[in-house]
Structure 1
Amino acid sequence: MTKLLQKAFQEAQKLSENLQDEIAQQLLADIENELKWQETLANSEINLDILQKMAQSALIEDQEGKTEEKGFGEE
């Protein structure tokens, strides 16, 4: 475990149990999503051209003002 992650856990221990559980749920969800993403990218059958086109499309939509800015986790 990295020193930064250790520090984060030490700081989290100072919070209420409810907040600690919220942080734990968020962290577990983030870890699960990261593992799925890594698995997807490691899949040799994935068509990187499709991902590139999707990314380009998202950038164009943003430049055209068709997106809206939201905070992390907002829907």
Structure 2
Amino acid sequence: MEQHDLNHEFPEYRDQIHTMKMSSGRFSRLFDEYHEVNRHVVRVEVNAELATDFELEDLKKRRLQLKDALYELLKGASVN
């Protein structure tokens, strides 16, 4: 199964992810939501939790939206 935690998704931002989790409330909230959604997706994929295909697709879309938002914050912070 593919790893989708942010350290695997953005290894070049590993230190910055940690720093931003501690210093940015917005980043921290998005980070927590991303990992909550990701855990939910994984549980459905390993059949530990039930969901329809539609629900799983929605979860994956939300995970992607959160990942995009987090990436934009990481990029913006690395420019400063």
Which has the larger share of helix? Answer: 2
Which protein shows a greater Rg? 1
TM bucket (normalised to shorter chain) is: 0.3 to 0.5
TM-score normalised to structure 2 length: 0.43
